Structure 1
Amino acid sequence: MQALIEVVLPVFLVIGFGYAAVWRGLFSESAVDGLMVFTQRFALPCLLFRALSTLDLGAGFDPALIGSFYAGAVAGFLAGLLGARYLFGRDWEDAVAIGFCCLFSNSLLLGLPITERAYGADALAGNYAIIALHSPFCYALGITAMELVRARRAGAGTAGLPTKVAGAMLKNALILGILAGIAVNLSGWPLPVPIGDALDLMVRAALPAALFGLGGVLYRYRPEGDLRTIAFVAAVSLLLHPAVVWGLGQASGLPETGLRSAVVTAAMAPGVNTYIFADMYGRARRVAASSVLIGTAASVFTAWLWLAALP
């Protein structure tokens, strides 16, 4: 038990430091914005580029790993979508935004450091394989569903939908870092040593700065109403998604290292991108914002339980 607490707690303490610093006025909200711009647009894309440019793609992209994780993600999306519509009476556009909250787990800022602390840096190949597809897959599904719902409501066609989805994804710096890393990997071209060393400097700053900044961002997302819906999102994200991944991973014979990466990533709270998606469409913003905060707080305990259950 103590070992598991030592794995999980430091990650959430860094988030807590960021939260407390903004709460007590020691770090301004404008400074948080600047820090998140640095991490989201520069440091984290460098981390993903560096990892994917050297990843063994054949070993990392195990069909059982990818299939188990993303089947669980789709199950979470459908549970959130249908639950929001039929349990809580939200309209279809709100329901898509709430489904996105159940779809988009915090694979990068929480899943990556917790997996590394639990199992070591050599256990991260599965995490990076999941992360390489995570933003493209989730945004493609979420944007497609939202645009279909809006087109149906407006009685309009969907001829321009693929262009709209592709354009939205290619504006995301994380996706660009992923694509560039895979391109370099497939090309087989080695990076010049000075460029590699510069990227490594950026990479070392990425996760600690992003976790601290996440704490500051969460301070803004204090819960206001919709508590039943938020609790539902947290339950789907922290319990249903990893349970589906666990079951499918076991059934498909997923190796132990892949099972760990898939379940730990699936067990993470909704990421900040869920609020970005809700804000982009002006739908269910309060649910998305509060789900990030409450889900992250609850995952201190649920992450510990999933780690205890894993081999």
Structure 2
Amino acid sequence: MLQIFLVTLPFFALIAAGYAAARGAVLPLAAIPGLNTFVLYFALPCMLFRFGAGSPIGQLLDGGVALVWGVCALALVGATVAFGRNERIGWNDASFGALVAAFPNTGFMGVPLLIAILGSQAASPLIITIAFDMIVTSSLCIALSRLDSADGHGASRAIRQALRGILQNPMPWAIVLGGLVSASRLALPGPLDRTIAMLADAASPVALFTIGAVLARSALLAREHRASGVVASAMGSGAEAAREAPLRDVLPVVAVKLVVHPLLVYGAARCAIALGVNLGASALAAIVLVAALPSASNVSMLAERFGADNGRIARIILWTTVAAFFSFPLAVKLFRG
């Protein structure tokens, strides 16, 4: 167990460093979008491209991994929405609650962390889960979030927006290009290959540092909203004070993400193997540990864009990230095999 902590500690330390830098104003909040852009559009696509290009094309088309991960993601979204809706939480907030429960932080955190723990053979299952979550899980939850609309155009408009976002996201294209290079067995020119390698090597530290900065920004903005709400209320303006999401709307989703999700994936994978689905031990360990990761930080940006309770979503992301410092090493010990 101590060895596992020693492997995971630097990754969480980088997240903590980013959090401390943003909270202490060493890193200006205005700089965070630039870090996000660098990771999302340059470093991380290069990392995914290299993993895709270096993996046999058969591994990138692993139907067993896609089947197990997809079934679990859809089941988790359906169950979380069904049990999450109540008098306080409508379709919009319930749908983004389901997305934050089903969408792990695979790109920014999972890829470097699981490659360090499991080795390069984990790259192909990781790529499959990233592609499914970006294309299917996100689009489904965004479409469900529009069901609060009075007419049927809200869901269709959300689907179009989600598809547009997928087309503009460089990560799926990096995966596709890497797969094409793998299938064709092309060799990139030396200078281009070294440039891609340098950007890929920068992905892990910058992405982890950025996660911490994003979490700190969410906490700072929530504090500012609460303060402004108190001032507005004291002035008698009639403005409603900013309300922090109650724990009963946060903790169940945190438990679903860090406990239910990995157990569900493990159980589904074992059932699939018993039914004859070809799923190797390394792929099984990879997808279970992906499910044990904290929630993806970009769900907060999506929630804000579509008018959901972003304070609740940001709080869930923060809690899952902090709790994962303890829960993820335990998951590695239990499921790595």
Q: TM-score, normalised by structure 1?
A: 0.91
- Taking the aligned partners of 1:158 and 1:59, their CA distance within structure 2 comes to 34
Which residue matches 1:127?
Answer: 126
Identity level (%): 28
- Consecutive unaligned residues in structure 1, runs of 5 or more: none
Cα separation, partners in 2 of 1:309 and 1:202, compared to 1, 3 Å: same
Which residue matches 2:107?
Answer: 108
Residue 196 of structure 1, CA deviation:
1.1
Q: Structure 1 residue 84 and structure 2 residue 84: aligned?
A: yes
Which residue matches 1:7?
Answer: 7
Cα separation, partners in 2 of 1:281 and 1:62, compared to 1, 3 Å: same
Residue 162 of structure 1, CA deviation:
5.8
Which residue matches 1:176?
Answer: 173
For residue 168 of structure 2, give the secondary structure of its aligned residue in structure 1. Answer: coil
Cα separation, partners in 2 of 1:155 and 1:109, compared to 1, 3 Å: closer
Cα separation, partners in 2 of 1:161 and 1:186, compared to 1, 3 Å: farther
- Taking the aligned partners of 2:35 and 2:152, their CA distance within structure 1 comes to 42
Specify which of 255, 263, 270 is matched with residue 243 of structure 1.
263
- Taking the aligned partners of 1:49 and 1:251, their CA distance within structure 2 comes to 32
- Taking the aligned partners of 1:150 and 1:186, their CA distance within structure 2 comes to 44
Residue 303 of structure 1, CA deviation:
0.6
For residue 268 of structure 1, give the secondary structure of its aligned residue in structure 2. Answer: coil
Cα separation, partners in 2 of 1:100 and 1:11, compared to 1, 3 Å: same
- Taking the aligned partners of 1:64 and 1:174, their CA distance within structure 2 comes to 22
- Taking the aligned partners of 1:32 and 1:164, their CA distance within structure 2 comes to 24
Cα separation, partners in 2 of 1:161 and 1:296, compared to 1, 3 Å: closer
Alignment coverage as a number of residue pairs: 308
- State the one-letter code of the partner of 2:130: I
Q: Is the 8 A contact 1:103 1:237 kept in 2?
A: yes
Which residue matches 1:202?
Answer: 199
Specify which of 295, 309, 331 is matched with residue 284 of structure 1.
309
- Taking the aligned partners of 2:110 and 2:269, their CA distance within structure 1 comes to 17
Q: TM-score, normalised by structure 2?
A: 0.84
For residue 85 of structure 2, give the secondary structure of its aligned residue in structure 1. Answer: helix
- State the one-letter code of the partner of 1:229: D
Q: Which moved more, 1:93-102 or 1:174-183?
A: 174-183
Q: Is the 8 A contact 1:79 1:236 kept in 2?
A: no
Q: Is the 8 A contact 1:81 1:96 kept in 2?
A: yes
1:148-196 Cα distance to aligned partner (Å, 9 max, x none): x155x22548766764442221122223322333344344433222211
1:94-114 Cα distance to aligned partner (Å, 9 max, x none): 211211111211112222222
Cα separation, partners in 2 of 1:160 and 1:185, compared to 1, 3 Å: farther
- State the one-letter code of the partner of 1:283: A
Q: Is the 8 A contact 1:39 1:209 kept in 2?
A: yes
- Taking the aligned partners of 1:225 and 1:170, their CA distance within structure 2 comes to 33
- State the one-letter code of the partner of 1:207: S
1:13-35 Cα distance to aligned partner (Å, 9 max, x none): 11011111222222221222221
Q: Which moved more, 1:36-45 or 1:218-227?
A: 218-227
- Consecutive unaligned residues in structure 2, runs of 5 or more: 223-243, 274-278
Cα separation, partners in 2 of 1:172 and 1:59, compared to 1, 3 Å: closer
- State the one-letter code of the partner of 1:118: I
How do 1:260-275 residues align onto structure 2 when only pairs under 5 Å count? 260-275=285-300
CA-based RMSD? 2.2
Which residue matches 2:249?
Answer: 229
